[in-house]
Every structure is written in C-alpha cells, then in structure tokens.
Chain A
Amino acid sequence: MENVLDVRNLTIRYRGAAEPAVRDVSFTLGRERLGIVGESGSGKSTVGRAMLKLLDTAEVTADRMSFEEVDLLRAPERQMLDLRGRRMSMILQDPKFSLNPIQRCGHQIAEGYRRHVKCTKAEARRKAIEMLEQVHIRDPERVYDLYPHEVSGGMGQRVMIAMMLLTDPDLVIADEPTSALDVTVRLQVLRILDGLVRDRGIGLVMISHDLNLVRSFCDRVLIMYAGRLVETLDARDLDNAKHPYTRGLLAAQPRIGGPRGDLPVLDRQDSWLQPHQEVTA
C-alpha cells in the first residue's frame, strides 16, 4: 500500500523547553483512519501540527518525515503553502475559534478553494454550496451567507469539514473534531466526516483523548503517553490492549449502567517512559 505519511523517530522540542514534547515517534499512514490517543500534554496535537509544519518555534527532527512524494523535513515554506489546504488539511476542535468571525461561512469555504484552484468566483461559490450539501446542510444557499456566530456548533463544525475537504486532500488531520459539540450532534458530525473520508479514500489522522470514539471511527490507534508512543494496535483489538496505560484509560471511563463502585485510577509507572517495543501480533 502506498503510504500517505511515513514518519520515523520524530522528536519535537519546543524552544526553551528542557524536555522534548514528542520523542522518537514512528508511524505510517495509508489510505486509512489512524487515531492518536493520549491525555492532555501527551504530545498528540503536536504530532498533528508537525505534519503540516505549523510548529515554527519548535525544533523538529526525524530520520524520515514524508508525505507522499514530499520530504517534509526539507520542504520549503513556499511548497508547504501549496500543500496546506490543498493536499493536506486540518480540522480543529472548536468552530467558535477556528472560523473567521467576520467573514461569511460560504466565503471562507470558497476562498480556500480559489487559493488553490484556478476558477471564477461563481464557480467557487457553486462548489462551496455543493460541498455544504454533502455535509448534510439542508439549506446551503442560506448557510453560505451566514456569519459563524449565526450557526450552531454542530453546523460550524460541518462548515469546517466542508472547507477542509473541498480541495479533495489526500491527508486530513482532525484534532478533537467533536469534543466541543453537544452529545446530540457529535455522532452526526462524526458520521459525516467518516463517510466523506471513506468515499474519497482520504488518509485520516484523528487526534482524540477519547479511546472509545477512536475505537469506532478508526482502523488503527496509536497510544501516546508523555510524548512517547506506548502502544500501536488495531482499533478492534483495543479490548485486548496489553499496555497498562491503555487499559487504565479504558477502565477509568464511567459507563452508563456501569457499576457504581470506585472507578479504577491509573497507577503511573516510570517504566512507561521506556522506548516503545513494537508489539508483533
């Protein structure tokens, strides 16, 4: 299978930090859905941002970091400007903060398209409205002209998805795409994203703190702890996870109808900071 991403021994150190935020992380991504899971501060978002080279204040080193035929370690910013939003894009957590508040939703979608594809304004508008339809927005002409504060969180996130998928990218990084949404719309948004990603054969990296969400919307899962990869496994094997950290995260989640005794808590071990041994199935 052709790799969309191939990353070997990625280490990221923020300027002025004593310890690297990410240490020796290796993974590949094909035309599949890959989850990156961990607690806050585990480095999962940092990895996502590094793929788009958005970390200009950090020192990024790796033995290899490539996106399709592009060597990301050597790609100049000029080339990245053409890649970002065209062949690789990112869906952020909260549409309240990630959409431009003073531009109409549709305009923002069309603008991204016109930046990368030569076409008339009318054509871009038509494309944007088509895309709004594909994210199940019932009245796309009307929503096109709304400002972000006039749409709900779930609709804002669908606008974001439309904007990111319009140029038919090969790689989408979704950083906590539904954690700012109410539970009643979360599944709907996830299913729309999932459907589009599958139909178009996009490589998806889903960054989340929620193991259970990743279980049903990803094929494979990377588990990160303190900047390190502690386990890599198929999503369907999560219940058989070997690493005590993964098992601890799963057990700590209260379940509806679950027992009411004390919730199991993590007993953090220093040995979790040791280099990750690839588990061979």
Chain B
Amino acid sequence: MKSVSIRDLSVSFGAVQVLHDVSFDVTPGECFGLVGESGSGKSTILRCASRLTDGWDGEVRIGDASVREMPVRERCRTLQMVFQDPYGSLHPRHSIRGALEEGLRVNGISDREERMAQAMRDVGLPVSFLDRYPHQLSGGQRQRVAIARALILEPDVLFLDEPTSALDVSVQAEVLNLLVRLQREKGFTYLMVSHDLAVVDHMCDRFAIMQHGRIVEVLDREAITRGGATQPYAKELIAASLEYETAI
C-alpha cells in the first residue's frame, strides 16, 4: 500500500491558471474523494498527478517516489487510472484482449493469458469476453473492462475519474460494490473524483471540496451529516446536496 502526497500543485492552460497551490495527502489504503462543481479542477489534479498533463509546478509523490522521477514503466505499474466514460476510454477497434494485453506486453510480463483471465475474474466478467469488442458490451461491462485494464499491472494506487457518473444507478451500484471489494482484497489506495456527495459518502474516508482550482476544505466523511464544514462554499455544497436528497 502506498500513500499519495500532493504539494503546491499549480498549472496554467494559456493565460488561465487552473490549479492554485493544491496540497493534500492520501494515506495508504485510503479512499480519498475530490468534489466540486464542473470546472473546479478536480480531474485536472488526476491528470497532472498521473502526468497525462505536463507543465505543472509542485510535487506529487507516490509512496517515497516523485512521479516526475519515476521511469514511465514504473509509474504505470504504480499508478493507474479509470476514466469517466467507458464508451470513450476503450479503443473501439481493439478487442478486450487487445486492451488488456497491451500493458502486459509493454512491460514485458509473461503468462499474459493467465493474468488476463484473472483480471476478468477479478472484475466479475466471463473470461470468454476477452474476444469481444467494446460495442458488444454494455456500459457497466465496459467500465469493468476499464477497471480490469487498470488493475492488471497490479498498481498500488488507482485514480478514479467519475467512474460511475456515465452509468445508470442500477449499474453504478454494481461498479461501486466492485471497487469496494477490490480495495478490500488488494489494498488499493483510491483517489476518486465525483460530483455526487452520496457516492463520496458511500466510498470515501475523507474528501476535499474544490472551487475555482483551489481546495476549499478537507473533511472527514462524517462532516457531511454532522455539519463539520467551516468554509462557506463547503457548507453551501453540502447543504445543496443534502437538500437535493431530502427535498427529493
């Protein structure tokens, strides 16, 4: 199990500064949430920390190692990401086998068939699905494939970028249950972006509320129901979510 530590992360796209000195720590084996309205910079943190976006300032460490100094293969075997839209994140013309095998091949890992079969079993899909293409799978099944692809290299940390917001509640429940089980079995550290406080409350131990590229407040999960927020925006967001749930 590894920790994630983010220090003074700042990034600008052109003239616009998108993240302003973001710092927080995720303890090993924890599920840490990032919430906030659209455009607040939640996903950008994941993209910077995984180095999908470059040109940022600050420091991101996984365990003892800085992501900047990790060789790319080591980084990929330490940290993996699951994206929001399972319709967009799988190559439409690669079979599931192709999607899962690529990472193994790049990393020169042997017994690939056995590992792919195990990954499929881990996410609750039949091994025969390896020969299917994404369009032959439902949204929930695709997201399971995306999770299988992320865990096949046995990483320590998973970045989850709205992993269920493109899915129906019925399918969301299955994927959330899967993520909880995998964390329990494999000891992953999760950093999860979500706009849904109910999902954060279900999954996370602690979470950060973001606005305009800054962390407004870091809270324990209990703070949602017990009114532990102190910052005005954090209070507003929690109140709006609670009102939405109870008015509804």
> B244 on the interface (CB 8 Å rule)?
yes
Find chain A residues with CB under 8 A from B248 CB.
210, 212-213, 215-216
> B52 on the interface (CB 8 Å rule)?
no
Find chain A residues with CB under 8 A from B198 CB.
253-256, 258
Residues of B within 8 A of A (CB): 37-38, 139, 168-174, 176-177, 180, 195-199, 201-202, 224-225, 236-237, 240-245, 247-248
> A192 on the interface (CB 8 Å rule)?
no
> A257 on the interface (CB 8 Å rule)?
yes
> A140 on the interface (CB 8 Å rule)?
no
Stretch at the interface among A24-32, A130-138, A156-164, A262-270: A262-270
A256→B223 CA distance, assembly (Å): 11
Find chain A residues with CB under 8 A from B180 CB.
262
> A40 on the interface (CB 8 Å rule)?
yes
Interface residues as binary, A55-68 with B (CB distance below 8 Å gives 1, 0 otherwise): 00000000000000
A262 B177 Cβ-Cβ under 8 A: yes
User: Size band of the A side of the interface?
Assistant: 20 to 34
Main secondary structure of the interface of B (DSSP, over half): helix
Find chain A residues with CB under 8 A from B169 CB.
209-210, 249, 252-253
Among residues of B, the one whose C-beta sits closest to the C-beta of A263 is: B173
B201 A252 Cβ-Cβ under 8 A: no
Q: Please list the 10 inter-chain residue pairs (A to B) with the smallest Cβ-Cβ separation, ordered nearest first.
A: A263-B173, A252-B173, A254-B202, A182-B37, A39-B168, A257-B225, A184-B240, A212-B248, A266-B170, A254-B198
A253→B202 CA distance, assembly (Å): 10
Given A153-B38, A187-B247, A209-B169, answer yes or no on A257-B174 (Cβ-Cβ < 8 Å).
no
Further pairs besides A183-B197, A256-B225: 4, Cβ < 8 Å: A39-B170, A182-B37, A258-B202, A262-B177
B177 A186 Cβ-Cβ under 8 A: no
Main secondary structure of the interface of A (DSSP, over half): loop
Find chain B residues with CB under 8 A from A142 CB.
none
Find chain A residues with CB under 8 A from B247 CB.
187, 216
Q: Name 24 interchain pairs, CB-CB below 8 A, sorted by A.
A: A39-B168, A183-B196, A183-B197, A183-B244, A184-B37, A184-B237, A186-B244, A187-B244, A187-B247, A216-B247, A249-B169, A253-B198, A254-B172, A255-B201, A256-B197, A256-B201, A256-B224, A256-B242, A257-B224, A260-B202, A262-B180, A263-B176, A263-B177, A263-B202
B38 A183 Cβ-Cβ under 8 A: no
Within 204-232 of A, Cβ neighbours of B (below 8 Å) are at 209-210, 212-213, 215-216
A265 B174 Cβ-Cβ under 8 A: yes
B98–chain A nearest beta-carbon distance, Å: 26
> A201 on the interface (CB 8 Å rule)?
no
A258–chain B nearest beta-carbon distance, Å: 7
Among residues of A, the one whose C-beta sits closest to the C-beta of B225 is: A257
Within 2-27 of A, Cβ neighbours of B (below 8 Å) are at none
Contacting B170 at CB < 8 Å: which of A186, A212, A255, A265? A265
> A248 on the interface (CB 8 Å rule)?
yes
Contacting B172 at CB < 8 Å: which of A215, A216, A252, A257? A252
Contacting B236 at CB < 8 Å: which of A39, A184, A248? A184
B201 A254 Cβ-Cβ under 8 A: yes
Find chain A residues with CB under 8 A from B171 CB.
39
A150–chain B nearest beta-carbon distance, Å: 14
A255 B173 Cβ-Cβ under 8 A: no
A254 B176 Cβ-Cβ under 8 A: yes
A183 B237 Cβ-Cβ under 8 A: yes
Among residues of B, the one whose C-beta sits closest to the C-beta of A184 is: B240
A182→B211 CA distance, assembly (Å): 12
Given A184-B236, A213-B248, A256-B198, answer yes or no on A265-B173 (Cβ-Cβ < 8 Å).
yes
* Interface-centre pick from B169, B172, B240 (highest chain A CB count, 10 A): B169
Find chain A residues with CB under 8 A from B242 CB.
256
* Interface-centre pick from B176, B198, B242 (highest chain A CB count, 10 A): B198
A183→B40 CA distance, assembly (Å): 13
B170 A248 Cβ-Cβ under 8 A: yes
A103→B155 CA distance, assembly (Å): 49
A210→B247 CA distance, assembly (Å): 13
A265 B202 Cβ-Cβ under 8 A: no
B202–chain A nearest beta-carbon distance, Å: 4
Find chain B residues with CB under 8 A from A40 CB.
139, 168
A30–chain B nearest beta-carbon distance, Å: 23
